[in-house]
Amino acid sequence: MAFLELERLTKSFGAHNAVDGLTLGVEKGEFVALLGPSGCGKTTTLQMIAGFVEPTSGAIRLGGKDLLAIKPARRGLGIVFQSYALFPHMTVAENVGFGLEMQGVAAAERRTRVGETLELVGLGAFTTRFPRQMSGGQQQRVALARALVIRPQILLLDEPLSNLDAKLREGMQIELRQIQRTVGTTTILVTHDQAEAMALSDRIVVMNQGKAEQIGPPHEAYERPATPFVANFLGKTNLVNGATVRPERISFAASGLAGTVRTRIFQGNHWLYQVDTASSLVTVIRQNTGEAMPGEGDAVHLAWEGRA
Amino acid sequence: MKAAPYLLCVPALVLFAGVVIVPLAMTVLLSFHDWGQYKGIEPVFILKNWQEVLGDSYFHEMFARTFRIAFFVTLLAALFGAPEAYILNRMRSPWRGIFLLVILGPLLISVVARTLGWALLFGGNSGLVNKALMGMGLISAPLPFMFTEIGVVVALTHVLMPYMVLAVWASLQRLDPQVENAAVALGAGPFTVLRRIVLPQVMPGILSGAVIVYALAASAFATPAIIGGRRLKVASTLAYDEFLNTLNWPLGAAVAVLLLLALIAVIWGANRLVERRYAQVFA
B176/A83 CB distance under 8 A: yes
pLDDT tens for each residue of A128-141: 999 999 998 899 99
**Cα distance between residue A111 and residue A225, in whole Å:** 48
Say yes or no to pLDDT of B270 above 90.
no
* pLDDT value, residue A22: 95
Average pLDDT over every residue of B21-49: 90
Question: How much is the ipTM here?
Answer: 0.83
Is 60 exceeded by the pLDDT of residue A67?
yes
**pLDDT at B32 > cutoff 80:** yes
* Closest residue to B181, CB basis, from A85, A86, A89: A85
Considering only the beta carbons, identify the residue of B178, B184, B282 that sits closest to A73.
B184
Provide the pLDDT for residue B8: 93
Residue of A nearest to B197 (CA): A87
What dotted CATH number matches A236-303? Answer: 2.40.50.140
**What is the C-alpha separation between A108 and B252, in angstroms, rounded?**
62
Neighbours of A145 (CB within 10 A): 26
Check whether the bond before B177 is cis (ω within 30° of 0).
no
Q: Where in chain A is the domain with CATH 2.40.50.140?
A: 236-303
For residue B268, pLDDT over 70 is answered with yes
Q: What is the pLDDT of residues B64-83, one digit of tens each?
A: 999 999 999 999 999 999 99
- Residues of B in CB contact (< 8 Å) with A are 176, 178-179, 181-189, 192, 196-197, 200-201, 278, 280-283
For chain A, what percent of residues have pLDDT higher than 70?
A: 99
Give the DSSP per-residue string, A57-105: EEEEEETTEEGGGS-GGGS--EEE-TT----TTS-HHHHHHHHHHHTT-
Tally the domains of chain B. 1
Q: Which residues contact A281 (CB under 8 A, 6 or more apart)?
A: A262, A274, A275
A11-51 pLDDT, tens digit per residue, is 999 889 999 999 999 999 999 999 999 989 999 999 999 99
Q: Which residues of A touch B188 (CB under 8 A)?
A: 73, 98, 102
Average pLDDT rounded to a whole number, residues A248-276: 89
H-helix segments, chain A: 42-50, 92-102, 107-120, 136-148, 166-183, 194-200, 218-223, 228-233
Q: Label residue A1 by pLDDT band (50, 70, 90).
A: confident
Mean pLDDT is highest, among A59-63, A247-251, B243-247, for: A59-63
A52: nearest CB among B179, B181, B192: B181
The answer to whether A229 and A206 are in contact (CB under 8 A) is: yes
Residue B43 domain-assigned (yes or no): no
Banded model confidence at residue B193, pLDDT cuts 50, 70, 90: very high
- What is the DSSP secondary structure assignment for residue B21, as one 8-state letter? I
Domain contains B7: no
Does residue B183 carry a pLDDT above 50? yes
Q: Give the Cα separation of B240 and B228 in Å (integer).
A: 14
Give span(s): CATH 3.40.50.300, chain A.
4-229
- The distance of A129 to chain B (nearest Cα, Å) reads 9
Q: What is the pLDDT of residues A272-296, one digit of tens each?
A: 999 998 878 889 999 988 888 888 9
Nearest CA in chain B to A104: B187
Which of B185, B200, B281 faces A132 most closely, judged by CB atoms?
A: B281
pTM to 2 decimal places? 0.81
Q: Which residue of A has its CA nearest to B181?
A: A52
With respect to residue B40, please indicate whether it lies within any of the assigned structural domains.
no
**Which of B179, B196, B282 lies closest to A85 in CB terms?**
B179
Alpha-carbon distance B197 to nearest alpha carbon in chain A (angstroms): 7
Instruction: Measure B192 CA to nearest chain A CA, in Å.
Output: 9
The rounded Cα A115 to chain-centroid distance in angstroms is: 28
- Confidence check: pLDDT of B186 > 80: yes
Q: Cα–Cα distances in Å, from B59 out to B147, B239, B248, B257?
A: 19, 11, 15, 13
**In Å, how far is A97's CA from the nearest CA of chain B?**
10
- Percent of chain B at pLDDT exceeding 90: 57
CA distance B164 to A31: 48
> B85 lies in a domain?
yes
Stretch A185-197: mean pLDDT, rounded? 93
* Confidence check: pLDDT of B241 > 80: yes
Output the pLDDT for position B1.
63
Tally of CA atoms within 13 A in the half-sphere of A92 that contains its CB:
26
Strands A203-208 and A31-35, sheet pairing: parallel
**Mean per-residue pLDDT, B255-276:** 90
**Average pLDDT of the residues in B211-216:** 94
Q: Quick one: angle between helices B149-173 and B95-104, nearest 10?
A: 140
**Residue B27 in domain:** no
- Is the CB of A86 less than 8 angstroms away from the CB of B281? no
What confidence tens digit (pLDDT) does each residue in A86-142 have? 999 999 999 999 999 999 999 999 999 999 999 998 898 999 999 999 998 899 999
Q: pLDDT value at position A116?
A: 93
pLDDT at A308 over 60: no
User: Least CA distance to A85: which residue of chain B?
Assistant: B179
CATH code, domain carrying B97: 1.10.3720.10
pLDDT at B28: 93
Identify whether B250 is part of a domain: yes
Mean confidence (pLDDT) of chain A: 91
Shortest CA gap B263–chain A (Å): 29
pLDDT digits (tens, 9 = 90+) for B142-163: 888 888 899 999 999 998 999 9
Sheet with A78-80: strands ordered across: A78-80, A154-158, A186-191, A31-35, A203-208, A211-216
Q: In this structure, which CATH number among 3.40.50.300, 2.40.420.20, 3.30.2350.10, 3.40.50.2300 belongs to the domain A4-229?
A: 3.40.50.300
Cα of B150 to nearest chain A Cα, Å: 37
Question: What range defines the domain where residue B252 resides?
Answer: 61-278
- pLDDT greater than 90 at residue A71: yes
B94 is a domain residue: yes
The least confident of A29-33, A233-237, B207-211 is: A233-237
Tell me the average pLDDT of chain B.
Answer: 90
Query: Does B54 map to a domain?
Result: no
Q: What DSSP assignment string belongs to B52-113?
A: HHHH-HHHHHHHHHHHHHHHHHHHHHHHHHHHHHHHHHHPPTTHHHHHHHHHHGGGGS-HHH
pLDDT at A166: 81
pLDDT of res. A98: 96
CB-nearest to B187 from A52, A102, A132 is A102
